[in-house]
C-alpha cells in the first residue's frame, strides 16, 4: 500500500520555502511515497510532482498565535486541514512545523485520544553516547502527570521505538533523581511500582529508575517523565550545548594562533557538529491520538524538516498506530479507566 | 575577626589525601583564615600548620551509607563533628565532600532550620554564557515543593548571591516550561504570583519565568525550582557536556590526521575545558540552616575541594547567615507559618 503524508507547508518560521524544498528531496528519496501539500494554493503553485498534490487551506496559524485562535478562529488553517487528511484516511500521517501548543490542541480536537489514553504526549529522540538516540517523553504537553499518565507514556514510547527501530522490546527508564527506590516524588514512587508491575506482566521492558545524565549515556532506549521535567531537561541540554559551542567559538577567535588552530581542527569540529546536529533528531511524535502527527521544530531548515518527514513516513509504514493500540490494549488491566479528566480543550470547542 | 572553617577531612571519594592538600593551599592563599581539621587523628597527623588544628572524630560516614546510619549510628563521624563546630560557634562554616543525603540530614538535625524556613535547599553555581555563573536551587534536597518553598528558595538564593557576588539585588528567575504566564504546573503558577508579589514589596528582584536554557544563557543571577526538576536539569546538563567531550575525543582519535588536527587545536580545547571545568563551580551551599554548611562534590580533586573551601570562606566572611536571616525576616509577611511539615528526620532521631 502506498503511504501518504499530509504536510502543513505553511507552518514553521520559514514556511513553503523550506517545507517545499524538503518535500522535493523526500519524494526523490522515497519513490513510493505520496504527499498532500496543504496550504495556500498560490504559495504552493510552483511545486509540480506526479506524486504530490495540493490540498487548499486558506488560513495559516502563526507561530505566536494563541491556542484558542488556532482552535476556534482559524478553522481552515493548513495545520488543521493537514490533520483532517489523517482523520479522513487520505493520509497516514501529518507533519507540521507549526507551534506546538496549537498543533497538540488541534490534533487532539480533530483526532481525539485513543481508548485508555488520558493525555497525548510529545516524544522526541535525543543523541546518546552509544551513537544512537534515546527517546524521551513527555517533552512538554502535560504537566502535573499522575503515575497512570507515566505508565501510558511508557507504553506509547515502547510502541514508537519498536516501530522506528525494529526492536521488539525497547528498554524503558523512569526519570528520577536517584537510583534508590526511596528517592523521588510521591508520583514517581508510585509510577516506579506501576512500571515494575507492567514489566512483570510483559507489557514493558522496564529497566528501573534513571537520572538526567542517563538520557545522554543511552542507558535505556526510552526515558519517561512528566512534561514539565522533560521540557526542562531538553531546554537545559540545549542550553549547555549552545554554551559549549559558544565558548569554543570565542576561544578560537581569541587570536591569530587560536584561529589557525581551530582551522586545523576543522575536520574534528565539523564531525562533532554533525554528531550533535539537532536537525538529525528533528521530528517529535504526538502519541496517544487516533492518528499519526509529527511535529518539526519551528526553526527547522530543509534538512531538519526532511528528517521529520522521514520519521513520520517510517512510523506510518511500520504501523505505529496499530502498535500503540495493541500495546495499550495489552496493558489495559493496568491502565485505570477515564479519570474524569475534564479535557478542557475539547469541552471548550464543542 | 578571624574566620574559621571546620573541614570534614575524611569525606569524599579520596579522603585526607585530597582534603589536606586543598587545606594547605587554602591556608597559603588566605593568611587570616583558620581551619579545624576534623577526622581520625592518625590520618591527619602529617598535617602541621600554625593556623590549623585537629578536632578528633572516630568515625567516617561512607559515601554509600544510608542516611539513617549517618544520623543514628555514627554519632562521632567527621561529618557530624564538623557541623557541631558550627553549632558551638567554634567555626563559622563547615565543609564536607561526604554524601549529600547524610550531610543534609545531619546538618538539619544538628543545626535546625531557620525561622520561616520549612526545608533547607541546596544551591550551586553553574557556568553561563556571560562568563559568570547562575546560582540554581534547589538541586535535589526537596521534592514536591509548594509555592511557599519556592519563595523561600528565592529569598535564600538572593542572600547567597549577594553575599558572594556583592550585588545587592540579584535577579531571580522561576524555572518554567514557557515564558507565558499560562504555562506550567499548578504550583508554578501560584509560585509565579507569589514571587511577583515579593518583587513588588521589595523582597526580591523577580525577573519572571525562565526556561532551562536560560540557566546557561545567564538570563538571571538565580534560578529557582523544585529539587526534582533542578536535579534533573543538573544531571542532564552534565550528561550533554560529557557527551560532547566524548564525541570530540572520539572524532580526534579517528585517524592520524584528526589526531594531529586536535593537537594543533590544543590551546583552544584546553581553554574550553577550563571554562566548563566543573571544579571551578564546586561548593554547593546548604541554605536555610542555623549555620553555614557547604558541600563539595564527592569526587572533587584538590582544586575542586579548594574551591568549595573558598566559597564557604567568602560566605562566612560576608555574613551569609545574617543576610539570609535578615531577608527572611523582611519577607516574613509573605511566608506562611510552619505548615505542619512532619520533619521526619528530626522526629525519627529525637
Residue B241 C-alpha cell reads as 557536556
> Rounded to a whole number, what is the largest CA-CA distance in chain B?
67
Q: What is the DSSP string of A315-335?
A: HHHTTHHHHHHHHHHHHTTTS
Closest to B247 (Cβ–Cβ): which among A247, A252, A275? A275
Residue ranges of A 329-348 with Cβ closer than 8 A to chain B: none
Angle at B147 between CA B145 and CA B150, to 5 degrees: 70
CATH topology for the A1-114+288-350 domain: Rossmann fold (3.40.50)
Does the domain formed by B121-285 have CATH 3.40.718.10? yes
Interface confidence (ipTM) of the complex: 0.85
% helix / strand / coil in chain A, to the nearest 5?
50, 15, 35
Residue B158 C-alpha cell reads as 538572593
Alpha carbons within 13 angstroms on the beta-carbon side of residue A62 total 5
% helix / strand / coil in chain B, to the nearest 5?
50, 15, 35
**Residue B225 contacts A where some CB pair is shorter than 8 Å:** yes
Q: Between A and B, how many residue pairs show a Cβ–Cβ distance under 8 A?
A: 191
pLDDT at B183: 67
- pLDDT tens across the length of chain A (350 residues): 799 999 999 999 999 999 999 999 999 999 999 999 999 999 999 999 999 999 999 999 998 888 889 999 999 999 999 999 999 999 999 999 998 889 999 999 999 999 989 889 999 999 999 989 999 999 988 888 999 999 999 999 999 999 999 888 999 999 998 755 456 788 999 999 999 999 999 899 999 999 999 999 999 999 999 999 999 999 999 888 888 888 878 877 778 877 777 777 777 777 777 777 777 889 999 999 999 999 999 989 999 999 999 999 999 999 999 999 999 998 888 887 444 443 433 333 33
pLDDT at B326: 92
**Cell 502543513, residue located:** A8
Cβ distance A236 to B216 less than 8 Å, yes or no, reads yes
Q: What are phi and psi of A48, to 5 degrees?
A: -125, 125
**Residue B271 contacts A where some CB pair is shorter than 8 Å:** yes
Positions in chain B whose pLDDT score sits under 50: 181, 337-350
Most B-contacting residue of A145, A146, A232, A246 (CB-CB within 10 A), to test interface = A232
CB B309 within 8 A of CB B23: yes
Per DSSP, helices labelled H in A60-185 are 67-68, 78-88, 100-111, 147-165
CATH class of the domain at B1-119+288-350? alpha beta
Cβ distance A239 to B237 less than 8 Å, yes or no, reads yes
Cβ distance A268 to B265 less than 8 Å, yes or no, reads yes
pLDDT at A246: 83
CB A74 within 8 A of CB A65: yes
CB A33 within 8 A of CB A3: yes
pLDDT at A276: 72
Most B-contacting residue of A66, A176, A235, A264 (CB-CB within 10 A), to test interface = A235
Q: Which CATH architecture has domain A121-282?
A: 3-Layer(aba) Sandwich (3.40)
**Cell 580545547, residue located:** B269
**Cell 526556561, residue located:** B211
CA–CA gap between residue B76 and residue B70 (Å, rounded): 9
Q: How many residues does chain A have?
A: 350
**Residue of chain A nearest B217, judged by CA positions:** A239
**Residue A125 contacts B where some CB pair is shorter than 8 Å:** no
Tell me if A1-114+288-350 shares its fold with A121-282: no
**Rounded to whole angstroms, what are the CA distances from A135 to A216, A281, A321, B76, B292?**
10, 10, 17, 47, 41
- Reading phi first (left if > 0) and then psi (alpha if -120 to 50, else beta), residue B218 is in left
Q: Considering only CB atoms, which chain A residues are within 8 Å of B140?
A: 177-178
pLDDT at A78: 97
Task: Please tell me what DSSP assigns to residue A47.
Answer: -
Residue ranges of B 195-224 with Cβ closer than 8 A to chain A: 211-217
Distance from CA of A92 to the nearest CA of B (A): 31
Paired residues of B206 in beta bridges: B172
Query: Of B211, B120, B105, which Cα lies nearest the Cα of B160?
Result: B120
CA–CA gap between residue B254 and residue A315 (Å, rounded): 34
**Residue A166 contacts B where some CB pair is shorter than 8 Å:** no
CB A215 within 8 A of CB A223: yes
Give the burial class of B32: count Cβ atoms within 10 A of its Cβ; 0-12 exposed, 13-18 middle, 19 or more buried.
exposed
Domain segments of chain A as ranges: 1-114+288-350, 121-282
pLDDT at B182: 52
**pLDDT tens per residue across span B1-15:** 799 999 999 999 999
Cβ distance A243 to B127 less than 8 Å, yes or no, reads yes
Amino acid at each position: 500500500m502506498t503511504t501518504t503524508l499530509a504536510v502543513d507547508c505553511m507552518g514553521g518560521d520559514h514556511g513553503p520555502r523550506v517545507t517545499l524544498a524538503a518535500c522535493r528531496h523526500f519524494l526523490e528519496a522515497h519513490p513510493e511515497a505520496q504527499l498532500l501539500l496543504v496550504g495556500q494554493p498560490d504559495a504552493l503553485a510552483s511545486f509540480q510532482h506526479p506524486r504530490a498534490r495540493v490540498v487548499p487551506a486558506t488560513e495559516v496559524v502563526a507561530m505566536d498565535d494563541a491556542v484558542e485562535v488556532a482552535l476556534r478562529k482559524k478553522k481552515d488553517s493548513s495545520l488543521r486541514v493537514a490533520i483532517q487528511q489523517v482523520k479522513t484516511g487520505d493520509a497516514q500521517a501529518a507533519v507540521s512545523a507549526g507551534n506546538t501548543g496549537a498543533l497538540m490542541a488541534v490534533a487532539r480536537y480533530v483526532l481525539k485520544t485513543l481508548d485508555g489514553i488520558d493525555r497525548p504526549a510529545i516524544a522526541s529522540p535525543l543523541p546518546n553516547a552509544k551513537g544512537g538516540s534515546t527517546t524521551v517523553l513527555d517533552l512538554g504537553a502535560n504537566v502535573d502527570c499522575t503515575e497512570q499518565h507515566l505508565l501510558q507514556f511508557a507504553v506509547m514510547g515502547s510502541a514508537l521505538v519498536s516501530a522506528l527501530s525494529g526492536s521488539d522490546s525497547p528498554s524503558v527508564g523512569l526519570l528520577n533523581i536517584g537510583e534508590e527506590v526511596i528517592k523521588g516524588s510521591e508520583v514517581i514512587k508510585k509510577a516506579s511500582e506501576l512500571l515494575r508491575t507492567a514489566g512483570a506482566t510483559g507489557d514493558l521492558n522496564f529497566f528501573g529508575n534513571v537520572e538526567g545524565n542517563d538520557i545522554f549515556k543511552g542507558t535505556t532506549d526510552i526515558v519517561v517523565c512528566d512534561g514539565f521535567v522533560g521540557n526542562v531537561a531538553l531546554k537545559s541540554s540545549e542550553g549547555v550545548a549552545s554554551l559549549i559551542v559558544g565558548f569554543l567559538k570565542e576561544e578560537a577567535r581569541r587570536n591569530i594562533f587560536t584561529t589557525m588552530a581551530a582551522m586545523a581542527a576543522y575536520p574534528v569540529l565539523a564531525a562533532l557538529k554533525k554528531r550533535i546536529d539537532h536537525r538529525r533528531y528533528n521530528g517529535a511524535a504526538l502519541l496517544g491520538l487516533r492518528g499519526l502527527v509529527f511535529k518539526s521544530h519551528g526553526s527547522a531548515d530543509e534538512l531538519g524538516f526532511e528528517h521529520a518527514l522521514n520519521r513520520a513516513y517510517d512510523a506510518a509504514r511500520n504501523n505505529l498506530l496499530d502498535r500503540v493500540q495493541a500495546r495499550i490494549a495489552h496493558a489495559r488491566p493496568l491502565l485505570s479507566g477515564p479519570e474524569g479528566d475534564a479535557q478542557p480543550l475539547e469541552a471548550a470547542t464543542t
